[in-house]
Amino acid sequence: MAQFNEMYQGTAVRAPYARLQDWVAAMPQELRSLKQAEAEALFRRIGITFAVYGEGGDPDRLIPFDMFPRVFSGAEWARLEKGIKQRARALNAFLVDVYGRGEIIRAGRIPGQLVWQNEAYEKAVVGFVPPKGVYSHIVGIDIVRTGPDEFYVLEDNCRTPSGVSYMLESREIMMRMFPGLFRENRIEPVDGYSEKLRRTLASVAPKKCKGDPVVVILTPGHFNSAYYEHSLLADLMGVELVEGQDLFVDGEFVYMRTTEGPRRVDVIYRRIDDAFLDPLCFRPDSMLGVPGLMDVYRSGGVTICSAPGAGVADDKAVYTYVPEMVRFYLGEEPILKNVPTWQCGRAEDLAYVLDHLPDLVVKEVHGSGGYGMLVGPKSSREEVERFRAKLIEDPGNYIAQPTLALSTVPTFVEEGLAPRHVDLRPYCLVGERIELVPGGLTRVALKEGSLVVNSSQRGGVKDTWVLAE
Amino acid sequence: MRLTVDHVTRYSYDHPVRSVVQSHRLTPSVFAGQQVIDWEITVSEGTKGSTHRDGAGDQVQGWTIAGPVSAVEVRVRGTVDTTDLAGVLRGHRETVAPEVYLRTTAPTRADVALESLARTVGDSDLLSLAHSLSTLVSEAIAYRPGVTHAHTTAAEALALGEGVCRDHAHALIAMARVRGIAARYVSGYLFAAQDGTPHEAAHAWAELHVPGLGWIGFDPANRCCPDDRYIRLGSGFDAQDAAPIRGVARGGAREAMDVTVAVLQAAQ
């Protein structure tokens, strides 16, 4: 499989990477090792670590950072940006529709069963239109590249996509360590993200809110793997970071306990799952949420971001229909392509998948984090056969996709620079306006040849540059 | 029939709690079979919270009770005129697609026994199938209070062969879904005449969706479809989802609950 190297075409260097060529050439091995150690120390000092559930080991393990940046030209980004915003608009239109009249189902463009019997479809919010008609306020879209102009969406994350702190910190550290690079290259800044996020959240304040909206971030607590990110975003936005027990419902509103007494809360950027939000509506044993929250939400006393129920749009089976959503709601052709996907729940698809298992990537419909998946070409025959048994037992739980020839970006390894596979997660903000900072999180599979970039599977991160035109 | 309801739920805590938050589905459904004459819900020392009608057509009302408090009394009193519609939920406004109720939950999951029982009857048409399923449940689970509890599943109740209206409803829902019929749990009240039939005044039954007719109530506990002796409050996937009162007390005290319900026929 021919792999697209984002820096080199043969021996020629692609334009966006031109100046990095000299930078690497001018950096002796000793300096590189020194800088790598410095980067790690910086990450350690700011405390950005990534704990992974169920993996054991060091919960404060550092996520590996690679100093070699990933670069997009302004023109490349402009096209990506259009595609990302288009997709975020369509996903939100879909959510408003399926909790309303369900026109796309009536029109026969998506099977009702996929939506209505989906675990992520929340009956409790049927008939409710959140402020500004937005269900998913932060849409994280995972994109891979296979050629100069070939981009594919791997999956959408409409609930609470994490990782934006790595985008911000990677940039911060690169600027600190290599200020020269930022003088020589005209790199679009990403530090506007937190202000844009704050503006987005404030723009969806509920009708009952008069005056300047009070925004909080609701975290499950410090044991959560993304806690660092929750506190960083709260800091950057200048809003309170709260846990469920810091909030309470009184009458028609939600309040937070402060040293100066209760303070009304208008917008909750929650980083906990729907099931834990409110024991009076969802899981009755949840200690993380706020009892009575959903009653306040449904009557317009508070806004919850992302809106409960948003998860039905990023289900891996629903994913197949996102291009259809773009056509149906926007009347446009999708700019970003989907990866061709087989639904193992369909008999003819399953037959194909079983016949081609060693060539395919198979994922759980509700899985995330790179767990419970099969990468056919990278698996032993036994692994494939073990997976085949699981697949036959519960085919509806799986989708399959061809193994894509993911693009590579030069990455520092023991022996020097070597190509490693990357993906990209930009964070699209949807409120009164749709905004996207030029950049995102580039994840890199540090293991040679590996296609799995998840941080839970030995993936690292890179700074992502968008060059000003 | 004109029915009056007096329904009192008392919660007491072994030491005062900091606060109590509740969510109520305690208002009669709006449909052709019932008309509210008067209806009042009071919560001792409670502050009325927000209210909304949800997608299933239920009136949902939040309440908060500031602590310290060691007892809470929820009292529902009212009068409703009811009409016998042979179980059909006519004129009920709701926006949730019936197909949503094909999803199973822990208490309504069919095991092998429920599944094979559900498959013992033919399906000449959906309505007779629904009736047959309801009869099967009546026969398979005898009414006996005290043997099951709030977390008993339909499968467990069937294995036991005994249970209360909650278990009957869960079993019927599980079996209906096996046969591809959307089904849901309904909570409400039942006026029982002095004819010796077993009853629970705070009652529950199931609704099955028959395309063309809509939602139809079935009460396997009483071997009938809800008529003018029934008052419908709200619905859900299962008993917990359809509970008339859901609440949380903050403060870690042990909670005791005492319920009295009187449903009487009133002179018109």
Cβ-based contacts of A284 with chain B (< 8 Å) = 240, 246
Residue B86 banded pLDDT, cuts 50, 70, 90: very high
CATH architecture of B84-236: Roll (3.10)
Nearest chain B residue (CA) to A106: B97
- Give me the domains of chain A, ranges plus CATH numbers: 8-334+405-466 (no CATH), 340-402 (3.30.1490.270)
Helical axes A193-203 vs A227-237, angle rounded to 10°? 80
Tell which of A103, A208, A249, A296 to mutate to test the B interface (max B CBs under 10 Å): A249
Cβ-based contacts of B19 with chain A (< 8 Å) = 248
- B23 Cα to chain A: minimum distance (Å): 6
Tell which of B24, B52, B94 to mutate to test the A interface (max A CBs under 10 Å): B52
* B84-236 shares the fold of B2-81+245-265: no
SS3 for chain A is: CCCCECCEECCEECHHHHHHHHHHHCCCHHHHHHHHHHHHHHHHHHCCCCCCCCCCCCCCCCCCEEEEEEEECHHHHHHHHHHHHHHHHHHHHHHHHHCCCCHHHHCCCCCHHHHHCCCCCCHHHCCCCCHHHCCCCEEEEEEEEEECCEEEEEEEECCCCCCHHHHHHHHHHHHHHCHHHHHHCCECCCCCHHHHHHHHHHHCCCCCCCCCCCEEEECCCCCCCCHHHHHHHHHHHCCEEECHHHEEEECCEEEECCCCCCEEECEEEECCCHHHCCCCCCCCCCCCCCCCHHHHHHCCCCEEECCCCHHHHCCHHHHCCHHHHHHHHHCCCCCCEECCCEECCCHHHHHHHHHCHHHEEEEECCCCCCCCCEEHHHCCHHHHHHHHHHHHHCHHHEEEEECCCCCEEEEEECCEEEEEEEEEECEEEECCCEEECCCCEEEEECCCCCCCCCHHHCEEEEEEEEECC
User: What pLDDT, on the 0 to 100 scale, is given for residue A316?
Assistant: 79
Cβ-based contacts of A248 with chain B (< 8 Å) = 19, 21, 250
Among chain B, residues having any CB pair with chain A shorter than 8 Å are 19, 21-23, 47-52, 54-56, 60-62, 64, 66, 95-97, 99-100, 102-103, 237, 240, 246-248, 250
Cβ-based contacts of B24 with chain A (< 8 Å) = none
Name which of A169-173, A222-226, B89-93, B229-233 the model is least confident about: A222-226
| CB spacing of A249 vs B240 below 8 angstroms | no
Average pLDDT, chain B: 94
Among chain A, residues having any CB pair with chain B shorter than 8 Å are 99-100, 102, 105, 112-113, 116-117, 119, 121, 123-128, 248-252, 279-281, 284, 291-292, 294-296, 298-301
Nearest chain A residue (CA) to B67: A250
| CB spacing of A123 vs B97 below 8 angstroms | no
Give A140-178 pLDDT, tens digit per residue. 999 999 999 999 999 999 999 988 999 999 999 999 999
Instruction: For residues A10-26, give the mean pLDDT.
Output: 91
- A215 or A38, which is more confident: A215
Which of B21, B54, B240 faces A298 most closely, judged by CB atoms?
Answer: B54
- CA torsion A223-A226-A231-A235 (nearest 10°) is 170
User: What pLDDT, on the 0 to 100 scale, is given for residue A132?
Assistant: 97
Residue A55 banded pLDDT, cuts 50, 70, 90: very low
Residue A39 banded pLDDT, cuts 50, 70, 90: confident
Residue A415 banded pLDDT, cuts 50, 70, 90: confident
Specify whether the CB–CB gap between A433 and A439 falls below 8 A: no
The kind and range of the H/E element at B183 are strand B183-190
pLDDT above 50: residue A53: no
Give one word for A150, left, alpha or beta, with left for phi > 0 and alpha for psi -120 to 50.
beta
Average pLDDT, chain A: 91
CA-based radius of gyration for chain B: 18
pLDDT above 80: residue B194: no
| CB spacing of B237 vs A291 below 8 angstroms | no
Q: How much is the pTM? A: 0.93
- Report the CATH fold assignment for B2-81+245-265: Immunoglobulin-like (2.60.40)
Cβ-based contacts of B64 with chain A (< 8 Å) = 249-251, 292
Name which of A294-303, B26-35, B121-130 the model is least confident about: B121-130
Domain spans in chain B, listed from the N-terminal domain onward: 2-81+245-265, 84-236
Characterize B8-42 residue by residue with b for buried, 16 or more Cβ atoms within 10 angstroms of its Cβ, and e for exposed: ebebebeeebebbbbbbbbbbbbbebbeeeeeebe
